[in-house]
Structure 1
């Protein structure tokens, strides 16, 4: 089924979408739309308004979200395997219990998004703003993460083992129990090197300038 430019806000659509079809939503208003448990595998959402849209328990395997977005979109317990989000506003979106294996977030605004409690073997992040986001316990092992702002985000318990962070910011980031074993942080802004961060960075690779900054913060001058 194709929907284009339609006002579908505050409607219950889950039962109206037959399974086995590819559904396309183009520039639709889905504000507070009920898509709970909907069959949306391979669906496309292009430039749609997603304020408080309810995708809980929906099958979004391989779905594509391009542009648009909104506040407090709910993806709790949804199946998002191989889904792709590009240039989408996902501020304060909820992903608890969602299956995020091989999901990609590219150019997304994810301020205050909550990915803690999500499931899966990892997801991809690129050129996105995750300021104040909560990724507690997420797995990002061996991922190449580029151009991502983690300012004031909670990355407690995250696993960045062997990941590469390029042009990323970790200012004010909470790193309690975070793993960076063999992670390459040479292209990242590490922020203030407090004791909690240094414990998290154990086993990571940093550059000479970063090492000098850490020592300088402790009153040690390298000649």
Structure 2
């Protein structure tokens, strides 16, 4: 079923969506739409307004979101396997309890988003803004992470083992029990890490300029 240029805001849509069809939403307003438990496998959402849309417990396997988005979208306890988000505003989105496996976030605005409590094998994130996001306990083990801002993000308990950071920022991020063993941080702006953050970076690789900046902040001059 195709929906195009429709105002579906505040609508309850689950009963309108047949489980054996592929659904396409194009340029639709889905503000506060009720899509709980909706059969949305392989669905496409193109340039849709999704402010506070409710996808809790929805089946979104292999769905594609491109453009659009909105504040406080709820994906709690949804099934998100092989889902692609490209250039989507996911500010303050909630993914707690969702099955997140092989999900990709590319060019997304994820300020204040929460992925803590998500299940599954994880996700990939590229050229996205995760400022003040909560990724507590997430695994990005072995990932190539490019162009991502983690400023003031809560990365407590995250596993970045063997991950490579390129053109990333970690200024002000919370790193309680975060693991960076064998991670390559040479392409990350570490800001001014305190002693607790330096302990989190144990086992990681940094460059000479980063090391000199860390020592200089402690009154040590490197010649």
Q: TM-score range by the shorter chain?
A: over 0.9
Instruction: Quote the offset at 1:11 in angstroms.
Output: 0.7
- Alpha-carbon distance in 2 for matches of 1:216, 1:193: 12
1:5 matched to 2:5? The reply is yes
Paired position in structure 2 for 1:130:
130
- Cα deviation, 1:47-73, whole Å, max 9, x if unaligned, reads 000000000000000100000000000
Instruction: Quote the offset at 1:196 in angstroms.
Output: 1.5
Instruction: Quote the offset at 1:16 in angstroms.
Output: 1.1
Paired position in structure 2 for 1:79:
79
1:193–1:217 CA contact under 8 A, matched in 2: no
- Alpha-carbon distance in 1 for matches of 2:180, 2:65: 30
- Cα deviation, 1:123-142, whole Å, max 9, x if unaligned, reads 00000000010000001000
1:1-223 map, 5 Å? 1-223=1-223
Instruction: Quote the offset at 1:99 in angstroms.
Output: 1.1
**TM-score, normalization: structure 1?**
0.99
- Cα deviation, 1:197-216, whole Å, max 9, x if unaligned, reads 10110000111111111111
**TM-score, normalization: structure 2?**
0.99
* Secondary structure class of the residue paired with 2:198: helix
- Alpha-carbon distance in 2 for matches of 1:107, 1:220: 39
Instruction: Quote the offset at 1:20 in angstroms.
Output: 1.8
Instruction: Quote the offset at 1:185 in angstroms.
Output: 0.4
- Alpha-carbon distance in 2 for matches of 1:58, 1:91: 20
- Alpha-carbon distance in 2 for matches of 1:92, 1:15: 27
Structure (1 or 2) with the greater strand fraction: 2
* Secondary structure class of the residue paired with 1:103: strand
- Alpha-carbon distance in 1 for matches of 2:4, 2:120: 32
1:85–1:108 CA contact under 8 A, matched in 2: yes
Structure 2 unmatched runs, 5+: none
Instruction: Quote the offset at 1:15 in angstroms.
Output: 1.4
Instruction: Quote the offset at 1:193 in angstroms.
Output: 1.8
- Alpha-carbon distance in 1 for matches of 2:117, 2:85: 19
- Alpha-carbon distance in 2 for matches of 1:189, 1:45: 34
- Alpha-carbon distance in 1 for matches of 2:73, 2:181: 33
* Secondary structure class of the residue paired with 2:121: coil
